């Protein structure tokens, strides 16, 4: 089959003025072109952040070290802590005060977080929800600050503003100086299963035990940088965290019969593990194919039947991490396996109760291992020594440890595919957060998509690696269509703060993941995208990137101008809707002179007179229109009268002179019988009813319904 001459004549018919303006008057206008450069929306490059998107020669960031002694009081479900914070002022600025995050204060009795939520009296509600919503006395949460001291034990002035605490320095902290102080505190741990929260405990009434997944449990320093100054936005419960890197020395005292996992390298394994467990750990370090059980279900069930009155202390050291978390319970089963990351052995581990078995035993540690492999391939080699998945019955992430959902749901103790894939998907996602933002350390509080969206995209690649035919959900273009085509009053641009958007999951996870998927699969191609994405990841390891750094790096490393894409997908709520407005058929005739005449064929039976030495018998004008606001490539499949098909992709720049309508002149040696735009649903087109010629009589989502069924 001959290729159709899609560039013959190369005619683009314009119906509006240059820059897409419809005015025919002599009045001027501003540049509203969809391909206008993004420069006016991005911050001016400087010596800290370059125009290429890389850190500059003057880039700096602060360092914060923590030394903590923690007591987990299982009888009273309470945490006691005594921490020393060492703050390194690596900036060029002199600081007169420091800001500390008190995230637990979101659960304080006088918290303002519930007050910013609208509420109504329902017609009816469950007793459990009633008892939770209409309590006489709220949960007594929040940090109880016992003291804030200088190193000489003198009182240090401080001011608490809800979830933030300002440390009032007696003397300014000059550039290059270090300040050390101490905070002593405690708080009541929340039951996250009944009261919600990103950490807490789960109570098992049958055996009287608790599973603890503990995070945001210590006062943590805010980020100070040259972009925002102090990143001290209040924590309202949704948008997450901005944190500095540092070294952690942490001692955690628990009941003697607890099994514990935490951020950092365990310094005293012989004090906390039995000899049998130590031998199994050594075996796991050499086993790369299947998890090794360190503490079996039988052993865990025996331990959980009685509660030890003795305690033991777990001692950890974590270098160059931005946060700290741990999980502890006498119920935990423990398994682990080794993972080869380009010759370096990393441990994939899981902690889970019997209630989560066999689901966790079958998939948790394997999912951890696959995540480390896939993410390392597309970003950078995982730099830490381990990654732990914990049966925490939520989805939350911290350096080297995360808390995940999933328990058997069938009567025989087994689990459905729905539960299996949800558990694997969340585990991959939360382990993946080790890369974004635990290492590529963006400001989650302000730019949720920079960790959730990027992570959701790489998660798709890892899930496909985990199992052939893995049923992907979020991230595929067809799955974001209903959101993008929805009520515009409830849709925000991706470049919005997470606290202020209606559909948080679609805005911060789904749409940005879809955008990256489209960039890789449709616009840039795998090779260019992968190189640019890897470049961004490696440039900003253990640093604080901004959206501009990401946008600039992706263009700098690929040589692809993507300003039109960032502007449309990230700064607006425009949608993709490209259609076929009309198709005209022509025939060419030789007038026996020096010219060829093209005459529109308006009758199906018109005989075509082929000119001498002509390579084509059939000529067409196809006019594409764009009811949607987004400019995107036009992906077209042409079907011929002999049943063969051909694909052609017109780059998005085809809309550069007129983003409402373009016409292409086409010639072929065979007759076109059908034309379809975006046949594989690559562009998140919100209305496919105008995507074909001849027109198919279907509702605008019918094509998506068919695809989703399959």
What contacts 86, CB < 8 A, 6 or more positions away? 64, 65, 66, 67, 178, 179, 180, 246
- Give the mean model confidence (pLDDT) for residues 217-237: 94
CA distances from residue 180 to 114, 151, 224, 389, 395 in whole angstroms, order as listed: 35, 7, 17, 34, 34
Q: Which helix (H) or strand (E) holds 550?
A: helix 547-558
DSSP label at residue 587: E
Q: Which SS3 state, helix, strand or coil, does residue 410 take?
A: coil
- Give the mean model confidence (pLDDT) for residues 439-462: 97
pLDDT reported for residue 650:
97
Q: How far apart are CA 69 and CA 71, in angstroms?
A: 7
Q: Which helix (H) or strand (E) holds 83?
A: strand 78-88
Q: Percentage of the chain with pLDDT > 90?
A: 81
Give, in degrees to the nearest 5, the angle at Cα 25 between 22 and 29.
65
Between 250 and 499, the more confident residue is 250
Q: Which SS3 state, helix, strand or coil, does residue 640 take?
A: strand
On the question of pLDDT at 201 being above 90, the answer is yes
Sign of CA dihedral 519, 521, 523, 526: positive
On the question of pLDDT at 603 being above 70, the answer is no
pLDDT reported for residue 709:
42
Instruction: From 64, 55, 320, 67, select the one nearest 173 (Cα to Cα).
Output: 64
- pLDDT tens digits, 666-677: 988 899 999 999
CB-CB contact of 576 with 549 (8 Å): no
- Alpha-carbon torsion angle 112, 114, 117, 120, nearest 10: -140
Pairing relationship of beta strands 224-225 and 229-230 according to DSSP bridges: antiparallel
Q: How confident is the model at residue 599 (pLDDT cuts 50, 70, 90)?
A: confident
On the question of pLDDT at 129 being above 80, the answer is no
Helices (H), 559-624: 563-571
Q: How far apart are CA 401 and CA 325, in angstroms?
A: 7
pLDDT reported for residue 237:
84
Q: Please provide the DSSP assignment of 455-489 as one string.
A: HHHHHHHHHHHHSTT----TTSGGGSHHHHTS-GG
- Give the mean model confidence (pLDDT) for residues 633-640: 97
- Give the mean model confidence (pLDDT) for residues 142-155: 97
| Bridge partners of residue 188, in order along the sequence | 78
pLDDT reported for residue 11:
38
Residue 591 has which token pair?
A: 């007038």
CA distances from residue 251 to 72, 145, 314 in whole angstroms, order as listed: 11, 20, 6
On the question of pLDDT at 408 being above 60, the answer is yes
Pairing relationship of beta strands 246-255 and 63-73 according to DSSP bridges: parallel
Burial (CB count <10 Å: 0-12, 13-18, 19+), residue 527: exposed
- Give the mean model confidence (pLDDT) for residues 404-422: 96
pLDDT reported for residue 461:
98
On the question of pLDDT at 15 being above 50, the answer is no
pLDDT reported for residue 120:
83
| Bridge partners of residue 347, in order along the sequence | 338, 386
Instruction: From 147, 144, 143, 150, select the one nearest 86 (Cα to Cα).
Output: 150
CB-CB contact of 234 with 345 (8 Å): no
On the question of pLDDT at 13 being above 60, the answer is no
Q: How far apart are CA 98 and CA 86, in angstroms?
A: 12
- Give the mean model confidence (pLDDT) for residues 461-470: 97
CB-CB contact of 379 with 462 (8 Å): no
Q: Interhelix angle for 449-466 vs 417-432, to 10°?
A: 130
Instruction: From 291, 683, 238, select the one nearest 477 (Cα to Cα).
Output: 683
Residue 165 has which token pair?
A: 């605490």
pLDDT reported for residue 610:
61
Lowest mean pLDDT among 1-15, 32-46, 584-598: 1-15
Q: Which SS3 state, helix, strand or coil, does residue 78 take?
A: strand
Residue 251, number of CB atoms within 10 A of its CB? 16
- pLDDT tens digits, 339-377: 999 999 999 999 999 999 999 999 999 999 999 999 999
What contacts 225, CB < 8 A, 6 or more positions away? 61, 62, 91, 231, 544
- Give the mean model confidence (pLDDT) for residues 125-139: 76
pLDDT reported for residue 19:
44
Q: How confident is the model at residue 591 (pLDDT cuts 50, 70, 90)?
A: low
- Give the mean model confidence (pLDDT) for residues 60-81: 98
Q: How far apart are CA 637 and CA 639, in angstroms?
A: 7
CB-CB contact of 427 with 395 (8 Å): no
On the question of pLDDT at 304 being above 80, the answer is yes
pLDDT reported for residue 128:
75
C-alpha 106, offset from chain centre: 24
Mean residue pLDDT across the chain: 92
- pLDDT tens digits, 35-52: 999 999 999 999 999 999
Q: How far apart are CA 569 and CA 513, in angstroms?
A: 11
| Bridge partners of residue 71, in order along the sequence | 80, 253
Question: How many Cα neighbours within 13 Å face the side chain of 475?
Answer: 25
What contacts 280, CB < 8 A, 6 or more positions away? 292, 293, 294
- Give the mean model confidence (pLDDT) for residues 512-528: 98
On the question of pLDDT at 694 being above 80, the answer is yes
Between 614 and 102, the more confident residue is 102
Q: How far apart are CA 423 and CA 428, in angstroms?
A: 9
Q: Which SS3 state, helix, strand or coil, does residue 160 take?
A: strand
Burial (CB count <10 Å: 0-12, 13-18, 19+), residue 227: middle
pTM to 2 decimals? 0.92
Lowest mean pLDDT among 485-489, 518-522, 697-701: 697-701
Sign of CA dihedral 334, 440, 561, 559: negative
pLDDT reported for residue 609:
56
- Give the mean model confidence (pLDDT) for residues 73-101: 98
CB-CB contact of 55 with 227 (8 Å): no
- Give the mean model confidence (pLDDT) for residues 606-613: 55
Instruction: From 147, 301, 297, 315, select the one nearest 209 (Cα to Cα).
Output: 301
CB-CB contact of 291 with 365 (8 Å): yes
Q: Please provide the DSSP assignment of 329-393 as one string.
A: ETT-EEEEEEEEETTEEEEEEEEE-GGGTTHHHHHHHHHHHHHHHHHHHHS----SSEEEEEE-S
Walk me through the domains of the chain, giving residue ranges and CATH numbers. Answer: 18-32+578-709 (no CATH), 40-59+473-573 (no CATH), 60-115+133-244 (2.60.40)
Lowest mean pLDDT among 61-70, 113-122, 250-259, 598-607: 598-607
pLDDT reported for residue 697:
62
pLDDT reported for residue 292:
98
CB-CB contact of 390 with 213 (8 Å): yes
On the question of pLDDT at 126 being above 80, the answer is yes
Between 615 and 682, the more confident residue is 682
Burial (CB count <10 Å: 0-12, 13-18, 19+), residue 213: buried
Q: How far apart are CA 488 and CA 459, in angstroms?
A: 28
Q: How far apart are CA 579 and CA 657, in angstroms?
A: 18
Sign of CA dihedral 232, 235, 238, 243: positive
Residue 15, number of CB atoms within 10 A of its CB? 12
Residue 70, number of CB atoms within 10 A of its CB? 22
End-to-end C-alpha distance for the chain, whole angstroms: 31
Q: How confident is the model at residue 607 (pLDDT cuts 50, 70, 90)?
A: low
Q: How confident is the model at residue 380 (pLDDT cuts 50, 70, 90)?
A: very high
Instruction: From 346, 411, 400, 408, select the one nearest 373 (Cα to Cα).
Output: 346
Residue 621, number of CB atoms within 10 A of its CB? 18
- Give the mean model confidence (pLDDT) for residues 266-291: 98
pLDDT reported for residue 169:
98
> 286 — phi, psi (to 5°)?
-115, 5
What contacts 370, CB < 8 A, 6 or more positions away? 428, 462, 465, 466
Lowest mean pLDDT among 128-137, 203-212, 250-259, 338-347: 128-137
pLDDT reported for residue 17:
40
């Amino acid at each position: 089959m001959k290729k159709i001459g899609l560039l013959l004549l190369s005619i683009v018919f314009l119906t509006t003025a240059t820059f897409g303006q419809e005015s025919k008057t002599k009045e001027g206008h501003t540049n509203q072109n969809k391909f206008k450069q993004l420069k006016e929306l991005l911050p001016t490059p400087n010596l800290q952040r370059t125009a290429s998107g890389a850190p500059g020669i003057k880039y700096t960031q602060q360092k914060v070290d923590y030394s903590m002694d923690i007591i987990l009081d299982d009888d009273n479900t309470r945490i006691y802590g005594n921490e020393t914070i060492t703050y390194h002022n690596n900036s060029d600025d002199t600081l007169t005060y420091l800001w500390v995050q008190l995230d637990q204060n979101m659960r304080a009795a006088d918290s303002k977080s519930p007050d910013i939520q609208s509420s109504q009296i329902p017609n009816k509600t469950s007793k459990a929800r009633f008892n939770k919503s209409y309590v006489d006395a709220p949960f007594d949460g929040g940090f109880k600050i016992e003291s804030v001291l200088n190193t000489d034990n003198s009182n240090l002035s401080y001011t608490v503003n809800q979830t933030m605490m300002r440390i009032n320095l007696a003397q300014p902290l000059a550039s290059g100086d270090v300040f050390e102080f101490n905070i002593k505190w405690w708080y009541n741990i929340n039951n996250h299963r009944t009261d919600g929260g990103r950490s807490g405990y789960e109570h098992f009434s049958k055996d009287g035990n608790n599973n603890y997944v503990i995070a945001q449990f210590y006062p943590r320093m805010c980020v100070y940088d040259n972009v925002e100054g102090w990143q001290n936005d209040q924590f309202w419960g949704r948008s997450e965290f901005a944190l500095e890197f540092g070294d952690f020395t942490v001692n955690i005292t628990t009941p003697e019969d607890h099994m514990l996992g935490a951020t950092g390298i365990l310094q005293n394994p012989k004090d906390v593990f039995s000899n049998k467990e130590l031998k199994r750990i050594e075996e796991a370090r050499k086993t790369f194919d299947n998890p090794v059980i360190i503490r079996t279900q039988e052993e865990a069930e025996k331990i959980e039947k009685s509660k030890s009155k003795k305690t033991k202390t777990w001692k950890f050291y974590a270098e160059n991490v931005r946060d700290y978390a741990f999980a502890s319970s006498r119920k935990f089963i423990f398994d682990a396996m080794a993972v080869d990351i380009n010759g370096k052995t990393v441990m994939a581990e899981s902690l889970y109760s019997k209630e989560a078995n066999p689901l966790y035993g079958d998939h948790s540690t394997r999912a951890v291992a696959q995540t480390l492999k896939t993410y390392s391939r597309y970003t950078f080699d995982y730099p830490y020594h381990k990654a732990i998945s914990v049966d925490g019955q939520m989805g939350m992430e911290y350096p080297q440890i995360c808390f995940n959902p999933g328990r058997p749901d069938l009567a025989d103790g087994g689990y459905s595919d729905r539960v299996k894939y949800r558990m694997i998907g969340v585990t991959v996602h939360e382990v993946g957060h080790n890369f974004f933002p635990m290492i590529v350390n963006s400001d989650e509080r302000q730019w949720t998509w920079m960790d959730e969206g990027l992570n959701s995209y790489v998660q798709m690649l890892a899930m496909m690696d985990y199992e052939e035919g893995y049923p992907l959900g979020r991230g595929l273009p067809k799955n974001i269509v209903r959101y993008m085509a929805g009520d515009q009053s409830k849709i925000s641009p991706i470049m919005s703060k997470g606290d202020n958007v209606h559909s948080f999951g679609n805005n911060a996870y789904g749409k940005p993941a879809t955008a990256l998927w489209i960039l890789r699969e449709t616009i840039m191609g795998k090779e260019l995208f992968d190189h640019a994405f890897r470049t961004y990841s490696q440039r900003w390891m253990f640093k604080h990137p901004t959206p501009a750094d990401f946008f600039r790096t992706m263009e700098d490393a690929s040589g692809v101008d993507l300003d039109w894409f960032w502007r449309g997908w990230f700064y607006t709520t425009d949608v993709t809707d490209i259609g076929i407005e009309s198709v005209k058929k022509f025939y060419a005739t030789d007038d026996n002179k020096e010219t060829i005449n093209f005459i529109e064929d308006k009758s199906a039976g018109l005989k075509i007179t082929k000119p001498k030495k002509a390579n084509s018998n059939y000529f067409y004008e196809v006019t594409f229109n764009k009811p949607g606001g987004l400019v995107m490539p036009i992906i077209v499949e042409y079907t011929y009268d002999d049943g063969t098909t051909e694909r052609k992709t017109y780059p998005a720049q085809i809309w550069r002179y007129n983003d409402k309508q373009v016409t292409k002149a086409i010639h072929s040696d065979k007759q076109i019988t059908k034309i379809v735009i975006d046949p594989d649903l690559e562009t998140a087109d919100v209305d496919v009813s105008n995507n074909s010629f001849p027109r198919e009589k279907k509702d605008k989502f019918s094509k998506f319904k068919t695809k989703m069924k399959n």
